[in-house]
Chains A and B, each alone.
Chain A
Amino acid sequence: MARFDSLADSVGHTPLIGLPKLSPSPSVRLWAKMEDRNPTGSVKDRAALSMIEAAERDGSLKPGATILEPTSGNTGISLAMISKVRGYKLICVMPENTSAERRQLLEMWGAKIISSPAAGGSNEAVRVAKELIEKNPDWVFLYQYGNQANADAHYESTGPEILEDLPTVTHFIAGLGTTGTLMGAGRYLREHKPGISIIAAEPRYGELVYGLRNIDEGFVPELYDASVITRRFSVGAEDSVKRVRELLDVEGIFAGISTGAILHAAIAIGKECVAAGVDADIAFILCDAGWKYLSTGVYHDDIDTAQERLDGQLWA
């Protein structure tokens, strides 16, 4: 069915696309879940729609309300689109070290942006948002890091879609941010596909982003449950940029930088499977396309320059 009553109704049901050339062998195959095909172009449309609809159902989100959310971009863009359509106001707390395109898109859909300091990255955005919500109790705080409806979106849609399209799936790999995708889809796949491996690829940013004043300011999303995950990898900017370019060069797929980190982990797992002599169907999340990152130069600068440019940025 390709006809929908409205834009929001078209969230999800994204294609799963094989990577015949990047797959390490004919029996160890990689599959990209093309989340850039969502209405605002990222996987976050699923979580945003789910969180808004849950808040509408429980009565906490009323017509004309103001929503506040800490976001480095994609969640904010998704919330902005749905807010525009449904008549909510949106304020995003966003670290200043995020790409120019993300800010432009947010403003285009009518969101107001409050900048948080670059040092500390999303940690600071979360802290600033929590302070603001205390002072403005009539605003609605969906809070993607702790909102069960974020993970539920993936339990109810992303996970089932992957299993339906790829019943032989052996590994599921996604990025680790709010942890919503991995918690939701991971839990669904574990319940319905015993033995599956759920693998997290966590972007490793430049030092600025880890610039906490003390360790006690560290942050683990409330949604995170380590028992859902089998293995967890940390992937730096250099490997992510190399992989995102490889995806473009070899398979013709234009993805955002965070997908490079996920693909890097997927290829490593694929090579392990080949070495172990086991067949595998490895599905990974392609979070968004590369359009929002063109200004960073990562698709055409030399690798060292590209990596340097990303150093202080929240690139995933």
Chain B
Amino acid sequence: MSNSDNSKVEVRIPTILRPYTGGAKLVSAQGSTLRDVIADLDVSHPGLAERLLDGGALRRFINLYANDEDVRFIGGLDLVVKDGDSITILPAVAGGC
């Protein structure tokens, strides 16, 4: 993979998954797509990918946002990421109302 395909992004980790990151709220990862980023996360933080994916797809109760936009509507795991993108992982919870 050439360097230009390998964007560096920041990933926000929810409380429930911080046991995998040694308690870190914010970690770095790289890749050209979101799928690569998750694979890279799993190298640094083994076991994390399995919490996010099920059979290669995003788990039902996991929401992933790239720069505050839900990735399911903008290409999903095939979304091409850019240097400096902010990725946020959140569990799906009931909203207020």
Are B69 and A123 closer than 8 Å at their CB atoms? Answer: no
Assembled-state Cα–Cα distance A252/B7 (Å): 43
CB distance from B60 to the nearest CB of A (A): 7
B32-40, B77-85, B89-97 - interface stretch: B89-97
Write out, one digit per residue, whether chain A residues 193-235 have a CB within 8 A of any chain B CB (1) or not (0): 0000000101110010111111111111100001001111111
CB distance from B55 to the nearest CB of A (A): 15
Assembled-state Cα–Cα distance A144/B96 (Å): 11
Are B94 and A121 closer than 8 Å at their CB atoms? Answer: yes
Is the C-beta of A75 less than 8 angstroms from some C-beta in chain B?
Answer: yes
Are B61 and A218 closer than 8 Å at their CB atoms? Answer: yes
| Candidate in B16, B62, B69, B72 with the most chain A CB atoms within 10 angstroms | B16
28 contacts between A and B (CB under 8 A): A73-B97, A74-B97, A98-B96, A121-B94, A144-B97, A145-B94, A178-B95, A202-B95, A204-B90, A207-B15, A210-B91, A212-B93, A213-B16, A218-B61, A218-B92, A218-B93, A219-B61, A219-B92, A220-B60, A220-B61, A220-B92, A232-B69, A232-B72, A233-B68, A234-B65, A234-B70, A236-B68, A316-B95
Binding site for A on B (CB under 8 A): 14-16, 51, 59-63, 65, 68-70, 72-74, 88, 90-97
Binding site for B on A (CB under 8 A): 44, 70-75, 98, 120-123, 125-126, 144-145, 175-178, 200, 202-204, 207, 209-221, 226, 229-236, 258, 314-316
